[in-house]
Amino acid sequence: MERKNRIWTVSSKGGVGTSTICVNLARAFAAAGQRVLLVDLDTTSPSLDVLLGVDNAVYDVRDALLGRMSIKDAAVRLPSSPNMYLLCGTLDPAGDLPLTKLDSALCQAEKDLGISVVLLDTHSPGRYAKTIASIVSHTVLVTEPLPLPLYAAEKCGVFMREIDAPNLKMVVNRYDFTAKPVSLCSMIDQVGVPLLGVIAKDEDMAQAQLHGKMAKEGASHNTVCGFRNIAHRLFGQHCPLFSGFKKFDRKKFIG
């Protein structure tokens, strides 16, 4: 069965901002009127609850997958956005999280909560990769414009193609538009994955996240536009890469 609007954010190197991309994409979808469910599947360092300022979660993804609680009852509705829900993550050192039940749980959540977009956040693809790849519609590989993250993204891209991760695209995070830029074309050539979007290096957003705020509440205009553009493109809408950006020379960064 085809699964629409299920988006998997992944990287193969910690610290590149995969979870940041996930939560702010969710905010962009919610701002466009979509009802969004975030599911934290990072079993080594789950952090979506921290990024979203959630401190009242009682249940997590393990409870939902083991049938102790439905996702409808386990998910936390975010007070900052009535269109957003979060299913918190859990540590899983033994690797026994029953993700074979994830698809049916998500189908039920989509029905019960009226969810139109699901975002699944992981760190490295890991042992659950094939299972996740089989139930999502889009795969977003997050990297930074630095040698080590790009090398890791290249290797991750090869693996994701081997497991047939659907609609694999790359997001470049923390791109410094004020410095002499790394060519986006050179990054596409190295990683071998089509470019979905670019998010600027933004110290305002970094500080806002320390207080559980998202891009719209504490980021620059161009950062907010970056997430909005990615959301549009994931929905198959025509949207130029830097649509809406201010004081921006497109030719300087593409070549």
In a domain, 120, yes or no: yes
The structure tokens 């249940």 sit at 59
pLDDT digits over 2-54, tens only? 568 999 999 978 889 999 999 999 999 999 999 999 999 998 889 899 888 88
Q: Is 206 exposed, middle or buried (0-12, 13-18, 19+ CB in 10 A)?
A: middle
Which pair of structure tokens corresponds to residue 174?
């923390």
d(CA 76, CA 209): 19
Give me the pLDDT at residue 89, please.
93
Q: Are 150 and 189 in contact (CB under 8 A)?
A: no
Question: Among 161-165, 173-177, 225-229, 232-236, whose mean pLDDT is lowest?
Answer: 173-177
Which domain CATH number covers 217? 3.40.50.300
> DSSP class of residue 94?
T
Number of domains in the chain: 1
In a domain, 1, yes or no: no
Q: What is the mean pLDDT of the chain?
A: 88
DSSP string, 8-44: EEE-SSTTS-HHHHHHHHHHHHHHTT--EEEEE--SS
In a domain, 188, yes or no: yes
Report the sign of the C-alpha dihedral through residues 215, 44, 106, 8, in that order: positive
Compute the average pLDDT of residues 198-224.
71
pLDDT digits over 96-116, tens only? 889 999 999 999 999 999 999
Range of the domain at 48: 6-254
pLDDT digits over 149-163, tens only? 999 999 999 999 999
Percent of residues, the chain, with pLDDT higher than 70: 89
In a domain, 76, yes or no: yes
Does 144 have pLDDT greater than 50?
yes
Does 218 have pLDDT greater than 60?
no
In a domain, 127, yes or no: yes
Percent of residues, the chain, with pLDDT higher than 90: 64
Does 136 have pLDDT greater than 60?
yes
